[in-house]
Structure 1
Amino acid sequence: MRSGRHAFTLVELLVVIAIIGVLIALLLPAVQQAREAARRMQCSNNFKQMGLALHNYHDTFGSFPYGSRAGTVSYPNLSGVNWRTSILPFLEQNALFDQLDFETGSFSGYSNFPFAGSNLVLEGLVFDGYICPSSPIDPLIAAPGGLNNPADGDKAGMMHHYVGIAGAYPDPAGRTDVVKQTSRGYAAGTGMLRPGQVTKFRDATDGTSNSLAVAEQSGMVGNEVIAANYGGGWTGQLADYPVSSISSSSDNYYYTGLSTVRWQINYDTKTSSSSSQPYENNTILNSFHPGGILGLLGDGSTRFIPETIDMETLRRLSACDDGLTNSF
């Protein structure tokens, strides 16, 4: 007698394949969520390190660094630096910081005023501590409207994913002497990191735990990268004076490394003369984290800020000295 052959029928095989497909479809979101959780944890760790660096800077020098400052040679914004450059020694980047030329060199990849001398070390350099791991944006891509366009054969400067908070518009307390309109959008000198000046812990009269110091700017506005990285993420500002000294709404006053908060988190529409270019003062806070961004408070703690936060709360959080209570 012939024994029967044991094998899957075509129907059984199709059923097995269908079951495997369903299981993969169920498992894939969980895997993606786990990966995002790990990336978000690393991003949070970056904020914690920046918080420690800012506090250690304050302990050493008696204040936080200039949020953004002008240089003393041609293209003052490209020879000046912002807070992200200033705290490098406190992020275990002493060797890098010690090579930088703050007197005659450029901190930009701009083809007409490129990295030179010892500042060439910044050309093509990517420091992971200033990059959100959830963002797919290439940190060496020259963003539209920026000056990070190196000459042929050269490499660009790094585009940073974290931005300092200069304050908010409208000012929650209605002040007009420290929040002013310029030709590049509204500029503020009410946050923890201010253009053209330094701040101290005592300036955060609302309390450091109620004051946003640094936030994410690692996402996109529509399909464009519009972040405070004009001329590259290391550079400074055009005018060497604080916001309170702005004399006219037509002043060409802008800065790198800072944002005066005006728009909702993850807002996907740019606004001319406010948030449409990297040299405008109200660049939007955004990220690829689902539902919001990470932020660093003045006390060094890291918080997740949902994109649904109401604007009044966000403005109060962004101004450290408005004298108003904050329910965040």
Structure 2
Amino acid sequence: MAEVLVTGGAGFIGSNFVRYALARHPDWRVTTLDKLTYAGRRENLHDVLDDPRHTFVHGDILDAAVSAPLVERADLVVHFAAETHVDRSILGAGEFIRTDVEGTFVLLEAARRAPRLRRFVQISTDEVYGSVPKGASRETDELRPRNPYAASKAGADRLAYSYWATYDVPVVITRASNNYGPYQFPEKVIPLFVTNAIDGLPVPLYGDGRNVRDWLHVHDHCEALDLVIDSGSAGEVFNIGGGNEVMNVDLTHQILAALGRPASLIQPVPDRPGHDRRYCLDTTKLRALGWAPRVPFDEGLRETVEWYRRNEWWWRPIKEQDPAFRSYYQTQYGR
């Protein structure tokens, strides 16, 4: 049995990967390490918590007494744990630097001592490239992060690379575009707009709404990670993009149409500082290994909208009973 450590495995992408890994690999024993911050929730793992090949550990990657022994006995480490929301990084960058950079350092130090480790996957983001007015970012392009979240991820990205170059830690780095799918915390645009629209509430659209994002279904992301674990080479970087460039305003109209809600729910709000205009990834390198996204965006978005419609048990307690969420929403959107 391969021992697989998934940090941040109670978050959105992490929990989907844990579920995917257990289903796809009967010879994997998966340990989830998660601090259970506001976006890391046991509910995201409700259907695998009792799986005999899954162990949940409540802990912080910054706490070496907890995280280091898990890394040291692992065959594979898939490192999702991070503070991830751009808006929150603008309100306060400190936690992003501590978790995303210092936390990654703690794990990499343990990885140096891990005798069985054959892969350390550093989950990065397309935001490290900064805004891309035209064309598509390649893995060799300059990193030009423009907000504290992107900068913290760029720092972790390059730190992980340095541990391969200096200490021969078997690091592979992935930079994915915007993910969507089930179990995404409702501060992010798709679940926020879907759940607001379900309740007939305004959907707060930044600026002119013409910012462009490339959307990747979380299941396609999981398949890409699986391939990189198996076929990627240490020290390499792989872009993972869905190839679905959509303006935020068009995305908003698609969500409202899927729910039968009027365009009058769109509430323009002031743009956020440093809002990148466009992201786009060149995925030639990953496609050469045999990967391609399989979920068409229109179909995936419909299925995602339907998931939130069917699973109010998951998101209503967050939006209606969590004082911290309500305080954040008030600060960010003023209502």
For the criterion TM > 0.5, the same-fold answer is no
Give 1 or 2 for the bigger CA radius of gyration: 1
Calculate the TM-score normalised by the size of structure 1: 0.28
Work out which structure has the larger RCO, using CA pairs closer than 8 Å and 6 or more positions apart in sequence.
1
Greater strand proportion: 2
Calculate the TM-score normalised by the size of structure 2: 0.27
Greater helix proportion: 2
